[in-house]
Amino acid sequence: MERKDLASIPTDDLWTLHEKIASALVAKLTAEISEIENRLNQLDGPNQTKQSHKKTSRRPYPIVLPKFQNPTHPSQTWSGRGKQPRWLTAYLVSGKRIDDFRIEQAAA
């Protein structure tokens, strides 16, 4: 390929050269991208490509009724799951038992 001084080339010819270079770059990059995607699909295996993109939904959890209640503030309840609330921890530290705060369930 012959080297020329870019300042001596007319603007129209430079623009044509620019368009040719841009289209060649796009074609080469597209080919490389498709080749890399093909390699990735081969590494993942045929079965995993569809499963990896599938979004799973969380299962619905049942409503849990409260099992413990604060005697001084009846609106404060605890179901027995997760971290103990501060009001219950304070009562337990003071010497009370957890069964003292249990809510009596009506017989079904």
Q: Distance between CA atoms of 56 and 49, rounded to whole angstroms?
A: 15
pLDDT of 50 over the 70 cut:
no
Q: What region does 55 belong to: left with phi over 0, alpha with psi -120 to 50, or beta?
A: beta
Percent of the chain with pLDDT over 90: 58
pLDDT of 49 over the 50 cut:
no
Token pair 């995607």: residue: 37
pLDDT digits (tens, 9 = 90+) for 76-92: 999 999 999 999 999 99
pLDDT of residue 46: 63
Q: Distance between CA atoms of 100 and 71, rounded to whole angstroms?
A: 9
pLDDT of 53 over the 70 cut:
no
Domain over 57-108 is classified CATH 3.40.50: no
| 3-class DSSP assignment, residue 49 | helix
- Contact criterion met (CB below 8 Å) for 29 and 37: no
The mean of the pLDDT values for the chain is: 86
Higher pLDDT, 7 or 2: 7
Q: Distance between CA atoms of 25 and 17, rounded to whole angstroms?
A: 12
